[in-house]
Amino acid sequence: METILSKYAKLLVHYCLEIQPKDKLYVRSTTLAEPLVREVYRHALRAGAIVEMDLDFREKNRIFLTEAEEHQLSYVSPIYKQAMEEFNAYLYIRAPFNLKEDNNVPKGKSAIRRKATQPYSKTYFKRTATRELKRSLCQYPTLAAAQNADMSLEEYEQFVFGACNLFADNPQQEWLNRRHDQQRIVDLLNGRDKVQYKGKGIDITFSTKGRTWINSDGQTNMPSGEVYTCPVEDSVNGVVHFSLPAIYMGQEVEGVTLWVKDGYVEKWEAKRGQEFMDRLLKAEGARRFGEAAIGTNYNIQQFTKNILFDEKIGGTIHMALGQSYFQTGGKNQSAIHWDMIGDMKDGGAIYADDEKIYENGQFLF
């Protein structure tokens, strides 16, 4: 019988990454994900790919940022450079040992490291925007991620595999069905110019004229289930409260409210994590929006402190401060991309060109 991890690997290789003979595939994960990595390696080779693996061990990044000197922090692996610039596909399998490992690393060293890798991050964003670099981000269930989600490991495995439709006889067909269902949403939104989110603590409008809504159907993220765009940079106005905690770099910020004028966040507050937020919003481009989205995966209904799943929760909206997705037509550039989520299931509404198209977490068409 086919194992669940073999089904997972086949979905990643054939549906998410669409691996073709002679494609060069770069796989990054940790040694904890070895069982899934083995199956990905097997199916990618069967598909004819050339595969390079990069597996982190426990506390590798913490040791590096603690011990490395400036010349070491500025060094970028030639394999990573080549992967970002030339490879055909990139798979990142999240499999954390400890989600708090990097909390106390020297902040100045992190900045040096980000500066060194930023050119390749820009290349990554540009190439993934056109699928010149086919990429997928997914999750391998580990104890650290399960604990962070307030679940047992067994419960978390069921959650992850269920969110990816791996219990279905044909997971790929399930995702093709979702692609079809979401296409009607993006078709409508791509025919409108103005969007308004309204809800508890939310009354914010933005223009999407000249921008593109994207159907996120499980190819670039597994799981997925969202439609997203980038607002016209100077068009966002109003106030938005995010009822779910906002997680970034392992830090949890609760009760975030943003006041926005002409696309610029003029004021912000958090009930918890204000100091971290103050520091992060000093980054260039961090006070403008790089994304506005609607979560559509109703198989995901619980908050797990993992943005890969949380931003897809059916019945929510999210907006991201910082880096735009180039494929939407967005122009904002930043070292950060921080997603923040608001629940719309209790009185929330979405208007497109002043027509109500969404209420209480559900589309009306």
Per residue in 258-302, pLDDT (tens digit) is: 999 999 999 999 999 999 999 999 999 999 999 999 999 999 999
List the one residue out of 189, 289, 300, 166 whose CA is nearest residue 232: 289
Task: Give the integer Cα–Cα distance in Å for 188 and 213.
Answer: 9
Task: Give the integer Cα–Cα distance in Å for 295 and 301.
Answer: 10
pLDDT beyond 90 at 59: yes
Task: Give the integer Cα–Cα distance in Å for 73 and 64.
Answer: 8
Mean pLDDT on 91-99: 96
Which tokens is 145 given?
Answer: 């991620």
Beta-bridged to residue 261, according to DSSP, are 264
pLDDT beyond 80 at 3: yes
Which tokens is 81 given?
Answer: 């450079």
Which secondary-structure segment (H or E) carries 275? Answer: helix 274-280
Strands 362-363 and 355-359: antiparallel
The C-alpha angle 162, 164, 169, rounded to 5 degrees, equals 75
pLDDT grade for 325, boundaries at 50, 70 and 90: confident
| Sign of the CA dihedral running 157, 45, 136, 184 | negative
Residues of the chain above pLDDT 70, percent: 100
Which secondary-structure segment (H or E) carries 112? Answer: helix 107-129
Q: Are 91 and 138 in contact (CB under 8 A)?
A: yes
Mean pLDDT on 215-226: 95
Task: Give the integer Cα–Cα distance in Å for 290 and 160.
Answer: 27
DSSP string, 325-358: PGGGT-----S-EEEEEEE-TTT-EEEETTEEEE
At 125 the pLDDT is 86
Mean pLDDT on 42-66: 97
Q: What ranges do the domains of the chain cover?
A: 4-140, 171-363
Task: Give the integer Cα–Cα distance in Å for 89 and 19.
Answer: 8
pLDDT beyond 90 at 251: no
Per-residue pLDDT tens for 40-51?
A: 999 999 999 999
Task: Give the integer Cα–Cα distance in Å for 286 and 268.
Answer: 12
At 109 the pLDDT is 92
Longest dimension (CA), the chain: 57
At 292 the pLDDT is 98
Beta-bridged to residue 291, according to DSSP, are 320
DSSP string, 217-248: -SSSEES--EEEE---TT--EEEEEE-SPEEE
DSSP string, 178-207: HHHHHHHHHHHHTT-SEEEEEETTEEEEEE
- The per-residue pLDDT of the chain, averaged, comes to 95
3-state secondary structure of 364: coil
At 326 the pLDDT is 85
3-state secondary structure of 287: coil
DSSP string, 16-67: IS---TT-EEEEEEEGGGHHHHHHHHHHHHHTT-EEEEEEEPTTHHHHHHHH
Mean pLDDT on 216-237: 96
Task: Give the integer Cα–Cα distance in Å for 365 and 356.
Answer: 10
The CATH class, in words, for 4-140 is alpha beta
Mean pLDDT on 182-204: 97
Q: Are 356 and 349 in contact (CB under 8 A)?
A: yes
pLDDT grade for 215, boundaries at 50, 70 and 90: very high
At 249 the pLDDT is 82
Most confident of 25-29, 105-109, 299-303: 25-29
At 1 the pLDDT is 63
Judged by average pLDDT, the poorest of 2-6, 75-79, 104-108, 340-344 is: 104-108
At 45 the pLDDT is 98
